Amino acid sequence: AQSVTQLDSHVSVSEGTPVLLRCNYSSSYSPSLFWYVQHPNKGLQLLLKYTSAATLVKGINGFEAEFKKSETSFHLTKPSAHMSDAAEYFCVVSTTDSWGKFQFGAGTQVVVTP
């Protein structure tokens, strides 16, 4: 069984300040974890993924995430927010016992103010 919880449904940041999106997961087996971004009326874009290699994962557009097994967390960060980062972000978990199925978190809406 697997599940994922995004702790914030809505995050508002000022342009140029750090962004933190929190994600906790639950899985019976070693998970694969992903962060996706979805801009309004658009499809999903993969930001980064963790697949049992390095625990600190760097993605596109300056985003990174750290896998912490002891805390069952996979938080997404960016040191300096840009206006174009305003979007919906989804944390996703998949495990080997789920036949490749993805479990999506509820999503976090990011608003960036000038």
Partner 1 sequence: GAVVSQHPSWVICKSGTSVKIECRSLDFQATTMFWYRQFPKQSLMLMATSNEGSKATYEQGVEKDKFLINHASLTLSTLTVTSAHPEDSSFYICSADNGMVAGGYNEQFFGPGTRLTVL
Distance from C-alpha of 103 to C-alpha of 98, rounded to nearest angstrom: 9
Phi-psi region of 52 (alpha: psi -120 to 50; beta: other; left: phi over 0): left
Q: How near is the Cβ of 10 to partner 1 at its closest, in Å? A: 11
CB 76 within 8 A of CB 89: yes
The sign of the CA dihedral 50, 57, 3, 9 is negative
Site for partner 1 in 27-86 (CB under 8 A): 30, 32, 36, 41-44, 49, 51-53
Q: How near is the Cβ of 101 to partner 1 at its closest, in Å? A: 6
The residue within the footprint of partner 1, chosen from 20, 60, 106, 111 (CB under 8 A), is 106
The residue within the footprint of partner 1, chosen from 12, 101, 111, 113 (CB under 8 A), is 101
Of 14 and 96, nearer to partner 1 (C-beta) is 96
Cβ atoms within 10 Å, residue 7? 16
Q: How near is the Cβ of 35 to partner 1 at its closest, in Å? A: 13
Judging by beta carbons within 10 Å of its beta carbon (0-12, 13-18, 19+), is residue 66 exposed, middle or buried?
middle
Residues in the site for partner 1, rule: CB under 8 A?
30, 32, 36, 41-44, 49, 51-53, 90, 94, 96, 99-102, 104-107, 109
